[in-house]
């Protein structure tokens, strides 16, 4: 036996993607558990969602109008050029200035055109001089939150394939089809490191698809980030222009899952895929998969995925490992069944599996 002539189906990782995602990526990462000094290598998989991809249920934030106004001032007003009462200018600051009669000015007092500093934000006429629309008083009790462009990320073990329990993250960020991203802003229900608090009523999502759906279904609260701050972050994200190249291997929209294989951890699958022309980066393969089915010798079918057509008009067929479905810690482990013609009526359908062992595994 060798990696290039395996006797059993090589293993790899299959990661289901959220519906309507815009971009997905995979890259090497490191993860440090809480209260641990040691970190270990993981594969970080990320999916970026479009604006208004879902509606998140809100609840009472516990804030009153004064809280909303104070948070608005902290966020928008403190660094504003109009946020002052009076500024006294000395001779050096008045250089070149003249009064109404054309005489040089040696000192002056500048009064702000905005009353926020001296009288409070409730005395400002909005939109203000800096263009902001004012505090969102409706965030005191939000029933629905239209979600802005967001990213969801999950870390998986490179060889065993299961997800890292505390590694699911979310943040606000916009991307475009050119693979560029905006700055990122903190999302509601997330800690400062973007790790999501899923609450006591939800299990930690173990796939990107489940993470996006669970986040939208979970009610927002003010425990980690106030509704006002989340609203402001979503506004910033929507107004942002993507300009930074995204890291990792990018997968465009239109796929149902990611195929992940690495040279160090799943070498048999990695070498077979690389030998057929599948690209890799830093010893890691991350490509898109399309949902299909696989026909067994007895005529029955099992859910499967296929790659895009590669050299020779063929594609790779993968299935979830039947032996791993009853073991939650092994969720995501898949089997590389082989290459099949992409021109058959049912994509990647074969009645002649590569070995009887694969038939037995798929039928179990």
Which residue's structure tokens are 């895929």? 273
Task: Supply the pLDDT for residue 9.
Answer: 87
Question: Between the CA atoms of 238, 240, 245 and 246, what dihedral angle is there, to the nearest 10 degrees?
Answer: -30
Residue 309 lies in a domain: yes
Judgement on whether residues 176 and 216 belong to the same structural domain of the protein: yes
Higher pLDDT, 321 or 287: 287
State yes or no: pLDDT of 284 exceeds 90.
Answer: yes
Task: Supply the pLDDT for residue 353.
Answer: 39
Residue 12 lies in a domain: no
Domain that holds residue 198: 19-59+141-245
Judgement on whether residues 151 and 237 belong to the same structural domain of the protein: yes
Judgement on whether residues 321 and 273 belong to the same structural domain of the protein: yes
CB 277 within 8 A of CB 310: yes
* Distance between CA atoms of residues 361 and 364, nearest Å: 5
Q: What's the average model confidence in pLDDT over 49-66?
A: 70
Residue 11 lies in a domain: no
Q: What's the average model confidence in pLDDT over 97-104?
A: 71
Of the residues 110, 137, 164, which one is the last residue of a structural domain? 137
Q: What is residue 261's three-state secondary structure?
A: strand
pLDDT band at residue 171 under the 50/70/90 scheme: very high
pLDDT in tens, 224-241: 888 778 888 999 999 999
Residue 158 lies in a domain: yes
Judgement on whether residues 34 and 160 belong to the same structural domain of the protein: yes
Of the residues 227, 245, 263, which one is the last residue of a structural domain? 245
State yes or no: pLDDT of 214 exceeds 80.
Answer: yes
Judgement on whether residues 125 and 86 belong to the same structural domain of the protein: yes
pLDDT in tens, 322-363: 877 665 444 688 999 888 876 554 444 433 333 343 434 333
Judgement on whether residues 186 and 121 belong to the same structural domain of the protein: no
Question: Between the CA atoms of 91, 94, 99 and 104, what dihedral angle is there, to the nearest 10 degrees?
Answer: 60
Q: What is residue 336's three-state secondary structure?
A: strand
Residue 325 lies in a domain: yes
Judgement on whether residues 239 and 262 belong to the same structural domain of the protein: no
pLDDT band at residue 142 under the 50/70/90 scheme: low
Residue 276 lies in a domain: yes
Of the residues 96, 119, 137, which one is the last residue of a structural domain? 137
Judgement on whether residues 207 and 184 belong to the same structural domain of the protein: yes
């Amino acid at each position: 036996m060798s990696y290039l002539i395996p006797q059993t189906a090589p293993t790899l990782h299959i990661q289901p993607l959220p519906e309507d995602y815009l971009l997905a990526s995979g890259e090497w990462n490191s993860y440090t558990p809480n209260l641990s000094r040691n970190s270990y290598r993981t594969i970080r998989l990320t999916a970026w969602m479009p604006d208004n991809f879902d509606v998140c249920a809100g609840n009472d934030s516990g804030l009153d109008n004064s809280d909303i106004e104070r948070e608005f001032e902290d966020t928008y007003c403190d660094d504003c050029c109009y946020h002052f009462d009076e500024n006294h200018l000395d001779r050096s600051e008045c250089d070149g200035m003249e009064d109404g009669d054309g005489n040089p000015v040696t000192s002056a007092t500048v009064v702000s055109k905005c009353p926020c500093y001296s009288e409070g934000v409730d005395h400002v006429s909005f939109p203000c001089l800096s263009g902001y629309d004012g505090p969102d008083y409706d965030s005191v009790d939000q029933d629905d939150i239209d979600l802005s462009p967001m990213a969801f990320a999950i870390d998986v073990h490179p060889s065993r394939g299961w997800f890292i329990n505390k590694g699911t993250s979310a943040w606000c960020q916009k991307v475009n089809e050119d693979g560029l991203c905006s700055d990122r802003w903190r999302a509601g229900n997330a800690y400062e490191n973007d790790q999501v608090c899923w609450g006591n009523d939800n299990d930690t999502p173990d796939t990107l698809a489940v993470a996006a759906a669970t986040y939208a279904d979970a009610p927002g609260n003010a425990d980690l980030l106030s509704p006002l701050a989340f609203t402001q972050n979503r506004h910033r994200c929507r107004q942002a222009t993507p300009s930074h190249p995204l890291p990792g291997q990018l997968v465009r929209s239109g796929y149902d899952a990611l195929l992940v294989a690495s040279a160090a951890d799943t070498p048999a699958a990695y070498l077979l895929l690389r030998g057929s022309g599948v690209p890799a980066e830093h010893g890691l393969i991350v490509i898109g998969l399309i949902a299909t089915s696989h026909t067994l010798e007895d005529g029955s079918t099992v859910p499967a995925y296929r790659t895009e057509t590669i050299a020779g008009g063929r594609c790779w067929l993968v299935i979830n490992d039947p032996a791993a479905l009853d073991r939650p810690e092994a969720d995501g482990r898949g089997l590389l069944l082989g290459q099949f013609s992409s021109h058959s009526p049912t994509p990647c359908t074969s009645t002649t599996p590569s070995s009887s062992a694969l038939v037995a595994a798929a039928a179990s």
